[in-house]
Amino acid sequence: MEKTFLSRQYLESISTADLISLADDYGIDIPDNLNRRFIIGELLDVADEMENERKADSTVQIKQTSDDVPAETLPQSYNETQICAILRNPVWAFVFWDIKEADLKMLHSDSSVVSLFLHISFFDSAEMTKSVDSFDIQISMNDREQYVLIPGGKRFFTIELAYSTHAGLASVLALTKCIEIPVGNEALASMRPGMEMKMSPIMKLSGMETLLHDHYNNHRQSFS
Amino acid sequence: MAKKNLVLILVAEQGYIHNSNSKVDFAAQNDILFSAIADTYVPLLNMISRLEGENVPVKLGVVLSAPLCTLLDDAQVQNQYIEWVDRRIALGKAELERCNKNQALLAQAQTCLMKAQKDKIDFVEVYGQKLLEKFKYFASKDMIELIPTAATYAFLPQYADLPEVINAQIETGLYAHRHFFGDSGEGFWLPYMGWAKGFEKLLRPYGINYTILENHGFLFAENPPETGIFAPVRCSNSLALFARDHDALESGAEPESFCRNSVYRMQQRDIGFDLEQEALAPFAGKSKVRVQTGYKYYANGTVDPEDAVAEDEYPIYDGTAAGEQAARDARAFCEAKCGKLDRAAELMSGQDVEVVCTIPAELLGQTWFEGISWLEQVVRTVSAREGVELALCRDLLDNQFSLPRIEPYPSAASGTGYGEDLLDSSNGWMIRYTRKACERMIDLTERFPSDTGLKARLLNLGAKELLLAQSGDWQKMIHEDRLPDYVKDMFQKNILSFTTVFDSLGSNTVSTEWLTEIEKEHPIFPWMNYRVFSRKK
């Protein structure tokens, strides 16, 4: 079946019964509550996979003609070298960056450049200049985002976008703001399955046990 | 004697989904607002009116976001809604003919048709198309407390390091609230209850007295309050905080919970998704998009979820049985909450106690058809009960300046407690654009602090487009795969419009035709002042 056939527009226009029948043809399990959105999403995933397979097999290149009007789309880059980190939750940071064309050119043409990496540094206070701990994550020239796990017990961090050279030197291209890592109740780090947590009756009634249980299920070692 | 208070807060919000071009097929987009009006907002107002008529004391917190208020207040949207109800009525009449050989289905079709007819009468005649006025009236009677929220329901922790952006969301949200309801309220509802360190310093300067956090904001704090979630606390600058009860109704949206009871109406099963296109013509017209029509004839039933679903396996809906079940569920809910309050009062010897429950408005009437009936029974049950009262947050702060102090833990009522679903592999690509636009907007307010005329128009448009791009709804809808193509287009349009503004101000050239067109397309916040993004000096 062609991708054009399985377009969202088409799928949204057919009845639930037809959707189920189509999903059945593709071996997709039907959810319990006739959730059309779910079925459509699954069918589109299948269509995408098929399209990718088809593209991989194809050797024909499609060329854009000069008559085509380029669609107005969001820029891939703002031509600035910048890095930004946001806490996605208290222990995971989402980091994204942009590299301006001149820097990209330099990185590609300079034969002494070995690799691009993120350097994560930890500090005890926002004013400190010397880090108490750090680690690196190697990234490729094409990467533009990364999730980073922040180890327990740290207070502040910064992330540098940097590159290393054959001579073992590192140069910083961009640096995030200094970000404070939240400090929470010690139960968060010490919670383990089967462990009896001491807490007041009012905390129990507030739902602390369930919360810690859910928290462990969702985040496990991230917070320890 | 200690007071025991049950606080119920209904949260109604939606993205600014507005169509000024009648030639565009907007059926799926309109379905979000129109179904909410027909199944939640009007029935909610009817419910409060009924209770008022019977002198049953009502105390409900209500959040109505600015984009939602703008849409409800828009005459064009109101007329589109009436036209939509008319088409629903026309479909109902066709349904009576289609079902005339099946008495059970015919009875259901008649009930749905009668509801559609009443929807029209309520909207046009009872409320004169002005639902906001009725909310305002109930607020003036102290039956509801209208709680302002951020301008476009942005998930604020993602901008925690950009105070100007959070200020702009708060200030515009408060201004919109004053515009629609005449005052700025006393509290502030943080979108998705998203809290990050230092937010109190941004909220308090606007005269905001309190906000509500997810319970782990309290309980995971380094110094959790001794009163748990049963009493308000305050931040270092005396911004009061309430904690939402963990067992509150939002968990009721889960399949195993009571709103999935077998006798309740199956909301996913609608003739709009079942019948042939021709049979839907009175409602759908030329639109090929399948949306719900409001004609739903089946109950959830007890079909094994593992089994494939066949049409005839669901029982026909029985409104009487569902109503009785809603009353039973309401009593069970009240028993659970009142029992919790009793126990907390014992443990907190003599201190007033409260339980705060927040309920997404969408759950009442839309996800759960009997939800409004359930809520009415909850209000009636509590009012008839000794020792527990419904209360408004603002009335529980007599001792605001002697409350214990805490520094809340970051928290949200989305994802797994931190709003992770608003920044994941499906929607993570958006944040780089909004944050870049934020930096640029803050910079523009520095460069053009007191401009007027065409430049001010451009800057105001830029501010509006940026606020719209920040809508948490866009991230949520993409995460949920709800109208993803439309949402991506909208987001792209917001960002590209902002970029055009930025570039125009840089090059000192602008197409006034383009400017007027975009202003017309997004007539939200007509009073916008771009300086809401300026650095506070």
* Section B458-478 average pLDDT: 97
Res B460 pLDDT > 70? yes
Per-residue model confidence (pLDDT) at position A94: 97
Higher pLDDT, B267 or A69: B267
Compute the distance between CA of residue B297 and CA of residue B105 in angstroms, rounded to an integer: 7
- AA letter at B185: G
Rg for chain A (alpha carbons), in Å? 25
- AA letter at A92: W
B456 is written with which tokens?
A: 């001010």
Work out whether strand A156-165 and strand A170-175 pair parallel, antiparallel, or are unpaired: antiparallel
Compute the distance between CA of residue B191 and CA of residue B213 in angstroms, rounded to an integer: 10
With CB atoms and an 8 Å threshold, state whether B246 touches A211. Answer: yes
Best mutation target, B162, B192, B219, to test chain A (most A CBs within 10 A): B219
Res B480 pLDDT > 70? yes
Write down the ipTM of this complex. Answer: 0.90
CB atoms within 10 A of CB B485: 12
Best mutation target, B286, B290, B293, to test chain A (most A CBs within 10 A): B290
**Residue segments in chain A with a per-residue pLDDT below the cut of 50:** 1-4, 58-71
Per-residue model confidence (pLDDT) at position B366: 95
Query: How near does any CA of chain A get to the CA of B76, in Å?
Result: 26
With CB atoms and an 8 Å threshold, state whether A218 touches B417. Answer: yes
- AA letter at A68: D
- Angle CA B2–B8–B12, to nearest 5: 160
**Within an 8 Å CB–CB cutoff, is residue A96 touching chain B?**
yes
> For helices B131-140 and B42-53, what crossing angle results, to 10°?
40
* Section B247-276 average pLDDT: 77
Per-residue model confidence (pLDDT) at position A54: 64
With CB atoms and an 8 Å threshold, state whether A20 touches B309. Answer: yes
Share of chain B above pLDDT 70, in %: 96
CB atoms within 10 A of CB A68: 8
Q: What is the pTM of this model?
A: 0.91
HSE at residue B233, side-chain half, CA atoms within 13 A, is: 24
Res B201 pLDDT > 60? yes
CB atoms within 10 A of CB B372: 22
* Section B202-216 average pLDDT: 97
Burial class (CB in 10 A: 0-12, 13-18, 19+), A6: buried
Compute the distance between CA of residue B357 and CA of residue A84 in angstroms, rounded to an integer: 36
Per-residue model confidence (pLDDT) at position A129: 86
- Angle CA B494–B496–B502, to nearest 5: 105
Compute the distance between CA of residue B79 and CA of residue B20 in angstroms, rounded to an integer: 12
Per-residue model confidence (pLDDT) at position B248: 53
Query: How near does any CA of chain B get to the CA of A168, in Å?
Result: 32
- Residue with structure tokens 């592999």? B425
Set of chain B residues whose Cβ sits within 8 Å of the Cβ of A144: 432
Work out whether strand A145-149 and strand A113-123 pair parallel, antiparallel, or are unpaired: unpaired
Set of chain B residues whose Cβ sits within 8 Å of the Cβ of A41: 481
B161 is written with which tokens?
A: 């390091």
Set of chain B residues whose Cβ sits within 8 Å of the Cβ of A88: 418, 420, 423
Per-residue model confidence (pLDDT) at position A52: 72
Higher pLDDT, B158 or B248: B158
Compute the distance between CA of residue A4 and CA of residue A165 in angstroms, rounded to an integer: 48
- The per-residue pLDDT of chain B, averaged, comes to 93
- Residue with structure tokens 């327990």? A152
With CB atoms and an 8 Å threshold, state whether A32 touches B309. Answer: yes
With CB atoms and an 8 Å threshold, state whether A206 touches B221. Answer: no
Per-residue model confidence (pLDDT) at position A153: 87
Burial B378-410 (b: 16+ CB within 10 A, else e): bbbbbbeeeebbbbbbbebbeeeeebeebebbb
With CB atoms and an 8 Å threshold, state whether A206 touches B246. Answer: yes
Compute the distance between CA of residue B192 and CA of residue B335 in angstroms, rounded to an integer: 27
Task: Point out the residue among A185, A205, A219 whose CB comes nearest to the CB of B221.
Answer: A185
Q: Please provide the DSSP assignment of B249-304 as one string.
A: GGGGGSTTSGGG-TTSB-TT--HHHHS-HHHHHHHHTT-------S---BB-TT--
* Section B395-400 average pLDDT: 94
Per-residue model confidence (pLDDT) at position A224: 56
B85 is written with which tokens?
A: 């109800």
Res B119 pLDDT > 50? yes
**Within an 8 Å CB–CB cutoff, is residue A161 touching chain B?**
no
| pLDDT, tens digit (0-9, with 9 covering 90-100), for B289-328 | 899 999 999 999 875 544 545 556 789 999 999 999 999 9
**Within an 8 Å CB–CB cutoff, is residue A180 touching chain B?**
yes
Q: Of A167-171, B439-443, B492-496, give the lowest mean pLDDT range.
A: A167-171
Q: Of A9-18, B258-267, B345-354, B512-521, give the lowest mean pLDDT range.
A: A9-18
Per-residue model confidence (pLDDT) at position B303: 57
- AA letter at B301: G
* Section B9-29 average pLDDT: 88
Compute the distance between CA of residue B160 and CA of residue A193 in angstroms, rounded to an integer: 33
B2 band by pLDDT with thresholds 50, 70 and 90:
confident
Higher pLDDT, B165 or A67: B165
Q: Of A25-29, B81-85, B409-413, give the lowest mean pLDDT range.
A: A25-29
- AA letter at B431: I
B137 is written with which tokens?
A: 């009236």
Q: Which residue of A has its CA nearest to B437?
A: A78
Contact B428, A93 (CB under 8 A): no
Which residues 26-55 on chain A approach chain B with CB closer than 8 angstroms?
30-37, 40-41
Per-residue model confidence (pLDDT) at position B123: 98
Contact B203, B236 (CB under 8 A): no
Instruction: Give the three-state DSSP class for B493.
Output: helix
All domains in chain B, ordered by first residue: 4-73+130-251+319-402 (3.20.110.10), 424-533 (1.20.1430.10)
Contact B380, B335 (CB under 8 A): no
**Within an 8 Å CB–CB cutoff, is residue A218 touching chain B?**
yes
B389 is written with which tokens?
A: 């009262």
Q: Of B9-13, B254-258, B317-321, B533-537, give the lowest mean pLDDT range.
A: B254-258
B519 is written with which tokens?
A: 């202003």
Q: Of A56-60, B2-6, B169-173, B220-224, give the lowest mean pLDDT range.
A: A56-60
